[in-house]
Amino acid sequence: MRAVAQNPVPMAAWGLIVAVLLVLGTIPFFLGLAVVIPLLGHATWHLYREVIVKDPNARPVFPEPRERKPAADFPANLFPWRRSDRG
């Protein structure tokens, strides 16, 4: 959202480019999408790296590990305030 708010014209232009290429890719019996989709995916990745990721050498931040819960307690895990082992 911030990237679109800070760059409305380039983002609108990119949206128009994506829409036009997708329409053109569907014209030859959808076979053009085999070329257009990977092309757009690769270009979008490069644009994301340019706009969002400021430092290309930045290390990823991993979340803290959470407490492991057995799968057998799945429905009960959704509602921790209703656990029967609290007493």
pLDDT given at position 25: 94
Which string of DSSP letters, residue by residue, matches 22-69? Answer: HHHHHTTTTTTHHHHHHHHHHHHHHHHHHHT-S-TTPPPPPPPPPPP-
Read off the pTM: 0.59
* pLDDT tens digits, 72-84: 777 777 777 755 5
Taking the domains of the chain in order of start, what are their residue ranges?
2-57
Q: Does residue 6 register a pLDDT over 50? A: yes
Q: In whole angstroms, what is the distance from residue 68 CA to residue 57 CA?
A: 32
CB count in 10 Å sphere of residue 36: 19
Q: In whole angstroms, what is the distance from residue 56 CA to residue 50 CA?
A: 9
